[in-house]
């Protein structure tokens, strides 16, 4: 009985070491973020820009940007995940939103506010992640946004990040 207990303890210790390595691989790096969105609908065009601070990290083959944004309703926590041919933008807090992007595939999402939930969908034309260094790069998304099935415009989003 004693050798089994010792063996179990050694196995548990090895698992702890593996978990520790995994945590190191997902260490978050503080970054400065420049986010620009251009919305084109009919003959009109609107542009929005934000400069903020957040964190960048990699987990497996996916890359993540996390940042907080202050809006009239309060704080919005945002996570941008990009991997291979798909991306996801998750917002929580004062605004709850989920947008999914996959090349040449219409993806469903939602936008939740105090007025109710809107069904959204995206038709993605471009997903691009250009890393210039380990903790610096740019994410480009181009997509058509549909709200409740009706076109809300063509969106071009560029997110530049650089170690702070």
Looking at residue 113, its pLDDT comes to 78
Terminus-to-terminus CA distance in the chain, angstroms?
54
Does 33 or 15 have the greater pLDDT score? 33
Does 24 or 78 have the greater pLDDT score? 78
Share of the chain above pLDDT 90, in %: 73
Own/partner pairs, 92-100, CB within 8 angstroms, 24+ separation = 93/68, 95/71, 99/145
Cβ-Cβ contacts under 8 Å for 126 (sequence gap 6 or more): 140, 141, 142, 143
DSSP letter string over 45-59?
A: EEEEEEEEEEEEEEE
Sorted by where each starts, the structural domains of the chain and their CATH numbers stand as 27-163 (2.40.128.20)
**Over 70: is that where the pLDDT of 77 sits?**
yes
Looking at residue 140, its pLDDT comes to 97
**Over 50: is that where the pLDDT of 14 sits?**
no
| pTM listed for this prediction | 0.81
């Amino acid at each position: 009985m004693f050798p089994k207990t010792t063996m179990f303890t050694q196995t548990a210790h090895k698992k702890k070491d593996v978990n520790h390595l995994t945590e190191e691989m997902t260490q978050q790096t503080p970054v400065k973020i420049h986010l620009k969105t251009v919305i084109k609908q009919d003959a009109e065009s609107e542009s929005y820009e934000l400069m903020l601070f957040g964190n960048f990290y990699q987990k497996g083959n996916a890359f993540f940007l996390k940042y907080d944004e202050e809006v009239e309703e309060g704080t919005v926590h945002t996570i941008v995940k990009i991997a291979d041919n798909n991306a996801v933008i998750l917002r929580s807090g004062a605004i709850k939103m989920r947008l999914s992007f996959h090349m040449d595939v219409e993806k469903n999402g939602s936008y939740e506010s105090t007025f109710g939930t809107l069904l959204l969908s995206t038709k993605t034309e471009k997903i691009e992640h250009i890393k210039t260094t380990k903790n610096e790069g740019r994410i480009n998304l181009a997509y058509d946004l549909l709200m409740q099935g009706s076109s809300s415009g063509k969106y071009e989003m560029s997110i530049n990040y650089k170690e702070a």
